[in-house]
Amino acid sequence: MNEAILDRAIGTSDALRPADRAVAPPGKNPRSVDAETAVRNLPRGDLSPFQRWARNLFSRTIAKVIIRTWFRVEVIGGERFQHGPAVYCFNHLSWLDPLLILAAFPTHPRIYFYGPKQENLRSGKRNRFMWWTGVPIPFSPLKDDLLTSVKWVQAVFDTGGALAISGEGTIHVHEGDLLAFEDGPAYFALRGGVPLVPVAITGTSWVRFRGRIKLRIGDPITTGERPTRQAIAHYRALVWHAVRTMVDGDREPGPPSRLGRWLTDIFNDWGPGGRAAAEVLHGPDPVDVPIPPVASGAAPD
């Protein structure tokens, strides 16, 4: 994200037209956005209310069937689910993670995902299906569509929805470890004036039949400052340490059966070099991730 976007005050973004301001989510930076306009600003604003409801229900049902058939899921800290707009920042071990979140999160507020990183989500069967559901907020790998994706995220908050986003920005195979976080989760939470909620996932690095998955919801981090670089760095470090603490005791199990390894490959995209190259990547030691102060005069944590 370029500096002009990062330093722009909440509620003054030119990502939304002046006529688009109406009823905001509760928070420290109230907006005024017409409800119908907010819906039109969603990634699939062309859908009717019934289509959005039906496709979301279908997506959640498919996710629940897959997850509950193959895994034993334990949700820890479910009382920390937010009743309104929020940013849920999770560690990313597999393409199964979004299915897990869809299956395990409450129906309300409706959850959306930032990603996948695709130039055209209407190309390819898997991409077209994801676009059909209306759940993802795609963005270009070249990051040349930031204003569009920012508008979509704000529309999620304006319609009362919540955003789930991978802090690492890529699939990371090591359970108990965590790559450095990108700016996105902190930026969107600060810009929207919504809580930043750490989420830790354990057990999806391998697809193991009836394997145990833990989904842990951490304490929400209250935001309120303008999304300056200093504030983003502060909250990025805060949420990184929160997730890193939750996964600290996790240990990656050994490889499953041949079927499990095959299914794992289907549900993952590790990039060049495959899983072998991804296994070389390790995150920083917590002592090497300082939490910088917020600017003087900013609201407390």
* Predicted local distance difference test score (pLDDT) of residue 140: 64
Structural domain contains residue 123: yes
**Overall average pLDDT of the 120-128 stretch:** 70
Which tokens sit at 51?
A: 């289509």
Q: Which amino acid is at 157?
A: F
**Overall average pLDDT of the 96-109 stretch:** 94
Which tokens sit at 237?
A: 């470090």
How many domains does the structure of the chain reveal?
1
Backbone angles phi, psi at 201, to 5 degrees: -115, 135
Q: Which residue range forms the structural domain that includes residue 251?
A: 33-288
Structural domain contains residue 158: yes
Which tokens sit at 11?
A: 């509620």
CA–CA distance, 147 with 85 (Å, rounded to integer): 20
**pLDDT tens sequence across 8-59:** 333 333 333 322 333 344 444 445 677 888 898 898 889 999 999 999 999 9
CA–CA distance, 213 with 201 (Å, rounded to integer): 7
Are 168 and 182 spatial neighbours (Cβ–Cβ below 8 Å)?
A: yes
* DSSP tag of 83: S
For the chain, the C-alpha Rg in angstroms (whole number) is 19
Residue 268 has pLDDT above 90, yes or no: no
Q: Cα angle at 102 between 98 and 105, to 5 degrees?
A: 120
* Predicted local distance difference test score (pLDDT) of residue 206: 87
CB atoms within 10 A of CB 95: 17
Structural domain contains residue 301: no
* Predicted local distance difference test score (pLDDT) of residue 34: 77
Structural domain contains residue 15: no
Q: What is the pTM of this model?
A: 0.85
Q: Work out the percent of the chain whose per-residue pLDDT is above 70.
A: 82
Are 243 and 137 spatial neighbours (Cβ–Cβ below 8 Å)?
A: no
Question: Residue 246: helix, strand or coil by DSSP?
Answer: helix
Structural domain contains residue 6: no
Are 33 and 19 spatial neighbours (Cβ–Cβ below 8 Å)?
A: no
* DSSP tag of 44: T
**pLDDT tens sequence across 167-225:** 998 888 889 999 999 999 999 999 999 999 999 999 998 888 889 999 999 999 999 89
Considering only residues 104 and 41, tell me which one the structure prediction assigns the higher pLDDT.
Answer: 104
**Overall average pLDDT of the 80-107 stretch:** 94
Residue 160 has pLDDT above 80, yes or no: yes
Residue with tokens 């909440």: 10
* Predicted local distance difference test score (pLDDT) of residue 82: 96
Residue 254 has pLDDT above 90, yes or no: no
User: Which neighbouring-strand residues pair with 166?
Assistant: 90
CATH of the domain at 65: 3.40.1130
* Predicted local distance difference test score (pLDDT) of residue 222: 96
What is the Cα 268 distance to its own chain's centre? 17
Average per-residue pLDDT in the chain? 83
Structural domain contains residue 296: no
* Predicted local distance difference test score (pLDDT) of residue 274: 77
Structural domain contains residue 1: no
